[in-house]
């Protein structure tokens, strides 16, 4: 049975190099493969089409400024200081109120025009999916990946999909289904040719051990800790650190042994991971908000991408990480924020090629069970069950 689905994620650019985009696009494509008619409400950039068909999925893009793009630096400059707390608070309030209402109304129109059966709301839509659900009277599935959800979405939702039980209020746990993270194992795979290509491009010798990171450069991702670790190895000519991702917070005085690649298209990320010998995910929630520290994080996508490419991963001791990565079997775990331990783990794997190979092979095998197709099938079963239950009622 194929369904018509509206996936509401107006804060997410699709396609894009960020993990949120990867998640929305890959899940949508996997649902489309099952025969669903998927409509994604996502964020629009100036160069993008308002409506675009991508591999069987229809993207409906919205400007944050309704008729044009709007970023935090462009928004509500109350005191002339774009980075002030007043500006940030004003922009956040705008996104959670006026823009949410706009996105909700647009989503309801799209849902009505395409006769959708279900609305899926990514929690950072702040209730836009709930508004559409109320207007068109269709079931709402709330996808809970992070802690910034709307209470309206929580109460309106018929089903909650969660990747972390700590994020779900006790009052909503009876309608919550816990699901696993996913990775595109067809794209992310061991590839020796990609390894050679990237190393030649960046001038890195094959004998050099590359310690790599893919992702954003926010403090809670542990990027500052990893930069300190890189500095520790600066005198070793056989080690190079590679950073792949948007350099919005990157210190310019990085160690001499650091290669900064910057953001790359999603379908090229696997090439750079293949150029790594050791992959690192040093999440440090101690440097995040109280909300994230208490509730944890959602789906650590980069870890599964590392594993699928057959790379040994060093990662911090956060439950969502240790649910995927087994210490000493598929990777190495260190206490979040413990830079000395992080340095020790890096040194251990850099100096032991056999251990790198063993952990990488194990990781690759485990990653094969975490696919987008598997996740999509689970969501599809929930939709089928909901339809049957409503029919019986």
What is the arithmetic mean of pLDDT over 109-122? 97
pLDDT class for 87, splitting at 50, 70, 90?
low
CA 368 to CA 366: how far, in whole Å?
5
Over 80: is that where the pLDDT of 80 sits? no
Over 60: is that where the pLDDT of 73 sits? no
Over 70: is that where the pLDDT of 137 sits? yes
> What confidence tens digit (pLDDT) does each residue in 304-351 have?
999 999 999 999 998 889 989 999 999 999 999 999 999 999 999 999
Over 50: is that where the pLDDT of 391 sits? no
Write down the mean pLDDT value for the chain. 89
Is residue 33 classed as helix, strand or coil in its secondary structure? helix
Domains of the chain (ranges, CATH numbers): 4-182+371-392 (3.40.50.2000), 192-367 (3.40.50.2000)
Over 90: is that where the pLDDT of 390 sits? no
CA distances from 353 to 189, 198, 212, 287 (A): 19, 20, 16, 33
pLDDT of residue 84: 54
What is the arithmetic mean of pLDDT over 177-181? 90
> What confidence tens digit (pLDDT) does each residue in 224-270 have?
999 999 999 999 999 999 999 887 555 556 778 999 998 999 999 99
pLDDT class for 217, splitting at 50, 70, 90?
confident
> What confidence tens digit (pLDDT) does each residue in 21-43 have?
999 999 999 999 999 999 999 99
Higher-confidence residue: 212 or 92? 212
Over 50: is that where the pLDDT of 210 sits? yes
Q: 162: closest CA among 183, 184, 147? A: 147
Q: Tokens for 382?
A: 């929930």
pLDDT of residue 288: 72
pLDDT of residue 218: 82
pLDDT of residue 77: 38
Q: Which helix (H) or strand (E) holds 127?
A: none
pLDDT of residue 91: 82
- How far is Cα of residue 53 from the mean position of the Cα atoms in its chain? 22
């Amino acid at each position: 049975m194929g369904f018509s689905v509206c996936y509401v994620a107006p804060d997410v650019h699709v396609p894009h190099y960020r993990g949120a985009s990867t998640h929305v696009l890959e899940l949508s494509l996997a649902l489309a493969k099952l025969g669903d008619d998927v409509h994604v409400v996502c964020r629009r950039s100036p160069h993008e089409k308002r409506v675009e068909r991508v591999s069987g999925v229809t993207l409906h893009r919205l400007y944050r400024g309704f008729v044009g793009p709007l970023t935090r630096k462009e928004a509500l400059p109350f005191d002339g200081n774009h980075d002030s707390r007043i500006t940030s608070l004003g922009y956040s309030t705008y996104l959670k109120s006026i823009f949410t209402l706009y996105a909700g109304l647009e989503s309801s129109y799209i849902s009505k025009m395409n006769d959708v059966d279900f609305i899926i709301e990514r929690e950072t839509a702040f209730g836009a999916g709930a508004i559409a659900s109320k207007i068109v009277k269709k079931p709402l599935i709330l996808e809970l990946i992070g802690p910034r959800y709307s209470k309206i979405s929580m109460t309106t939702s018929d089903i909650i999909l969660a990747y972390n039980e700590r994020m779900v209020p006790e009052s909503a746990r009876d309608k919550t289904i816990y699901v696993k993270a996913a990775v595109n194992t067809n794209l992310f795979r061991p590839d020796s040719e990609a390894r050679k290509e990237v190393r030649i491009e960046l001038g890195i010798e094959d004998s050099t051990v590359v310690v790599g990171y893919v992702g954003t450069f926010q403090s809670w991702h542990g990027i500052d800790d990893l930069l300190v670790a890189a500095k520790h190895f600066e005198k070793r000519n056989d080690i190079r650190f590679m950073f792949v991702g948007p350099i919005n917070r990157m210190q310019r005085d990085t160690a001499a042994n650091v290669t900064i690649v910057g953001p790359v298209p999603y379908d090229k990320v696997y090439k750079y991971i293949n150029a790594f010998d050791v992959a690192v995910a040093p999440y440090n929630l101690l440097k995040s908000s109280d909300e994230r520290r208490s509730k944890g994080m959602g789906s650590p996508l980069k870890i599964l991408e590392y594993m699928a490419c057959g790379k040994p991963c060093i990662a911090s001791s956060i439950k969502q990480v240790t649910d995927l990565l087994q210490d000493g079997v598929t990777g190495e775990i260190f206490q979040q924020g413990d830079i000395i331990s992080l340095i020790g783990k890096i040194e251990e794997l850099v100096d032991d090629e056999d251990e790198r190979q063993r952990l990488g092979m194990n990781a690759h095998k485990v990653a094969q069970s975490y696919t987008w197709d598997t996740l999509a099938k689970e969501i599809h079963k929930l939709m089928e069950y909901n339809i049957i239950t409503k029919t019986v009622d």
